[in-house]
Amino acid sequence: MKWSVLGWRLASFAVAAGLITLWQFAADQRLISPVFLPGPDRAWASLMRGFTSGDLLTKLAGTLTHMAYGWLLASIVGVALGAMIGSSKTMRAYVAPTLELLRPLPVSAIIPVAIAALGLSQGMALAVIAFGSLWPMLLGTIHGFAAVEPRLYEVARVLHMSRLAVIFKIALPSAAPDILAGMRLSLTVALILAVVCEMLAGLDGLGQWVLLSARSFRSADLFAGVMLLGVIGYVTALAMDAAESRLLRWQAARR
């Protein structure tokens, strides 16, 4: 059983390798102009060069920092606000419909407003990323809090637990799946907004790197940047998976 899984995995890698070879072939035969499509060899060489000469590393760090600060800020604010709104029925009745109304708003539309208010600065990027990643977590937390099994609240009342204790011991754990799902969505949003903000404001990061590479037609550098962005997306999703399965282990065991 274990071997067949491994076998499929290897075959799957082989298919991916085959596609890369096809890409190499298309680039070598100049089926597509090398201005747009560098071969994987050139993109890889550019990636390695970027790392050894150090420039790409600072850009990578820049993008990761933008993402991390905005996302962490949004996580703290989102969960705190969500807990406040979600744990009170009155608050839910008054506030939640407004939030639902704002949910379909494409968050990137606040970038111009943030630029007008804060200029083309790090602060603007932080505000935009935090605002954008706030929504999934805020709504997830409210939803999670609203969906807590009512009997658990009854138990809390019987035990005379304080409101804080109810939030930390009952509501937060049972809302954890919703909150984590929101956090996962927020990570993607944070990455996209980080890239856009870097492009627009020329902040040090991969967004600015890929745009400058495109403007000067350095397609190998451009593809190296895009590949790195893909890696960021993949690794952050993987980390989220690990965190999720660890934090929700007690629930999986119960099911």
Cα angle, residue 139 at apex, residues 230 and 90 outer, rounded to 5°: 170
Q: Where do we find the tokens 């706030």? A: 134
> 165 or 231: whose CB is closer to other proteins?
231
Task: Give the binding range for other proteins (CB under 8 A) out of 13-21, 53-61, 74-82, 165-173.
Answer: 13-21
> 84 or 211: whose CB is closer to other proteins?
211
- Taking a C-beta distance cutoff of 8 angstroms, is the pair 206, 233 a contact? no
- Taking a C-beta distance cutoff of 8 angstroms, is the pair 189, 107 a contact? yes
Which amino acid would we find at residue 129? I
Hey, is 7 helix, strand or coil?
helix
Cβ at position 156, least distance to other proteins in Å: 26
Q: Where do we find the tokens 């067949």? A: 4
Residue 236 vs residues 102, 222, 240: alpha-carbon distances, Å: 27, 21, 6
- Alpha-carbon 159 to chain mean position: 39
How far is the C-alpha of 111 from the C-alpha of 192, rounded, in Å?
Answer: 12
Q: Which of 2, 29, 31, 35 binds other proteins (CB under 8 A)?
A: 35
Task: Give the binding range for other proteins (CB under 8 A) out of 46-54, 76-84, 148-156, 229-237.
Answer: 229-237
Cβ at position 238, least distance to other proteins in Å: 9
> 166 or 198: whose CB is closer to other proteins?
198
DSSP string, 175-213: HHHHHHHHHHHHHHHHHHHHHHHHHHH--SSHHHHHHHH
Q: According to the binding rule CB under 8 A, does residue 115 interact with other proteins?
A: yes
Q: According to the binding rule CB under 8 A, does residue 181 interact with other proteins?
A: yes
Cβ at position 165, least distance to other proteins in Å: 29
Q: According to the binding rule CB under 8 A, does residue 242 interact with other proteins?
A: no
Site string for other proteins, 44-73 (x = CB under 8 A): ------------------------------
Q: According to the binding rule CB under 8 A, does residue 109 interact with other proteins?
A: yes
- DSSP structure class, residue 169: I
79 sits in which H/E element:
helix 55-86
Q: Which of 21, 22, 34, 36 binds other proteins (CB under 8 A)?
A: 36
> 30 or 157: whose CB is closer to other proteins?
30
- Alpha-carbon 91 to chain mean position: 29
Q: According to the binding rule CB under 8 A, does residue 229 interact with other proteins?
A: yes
Task: Give the binding range for other proteins (CB under 8 A) out of 21-29, 105-113, 155-163, 168-176.
Answer: 105-113
Q: Where do we find the tokens 């895009």? A: 226
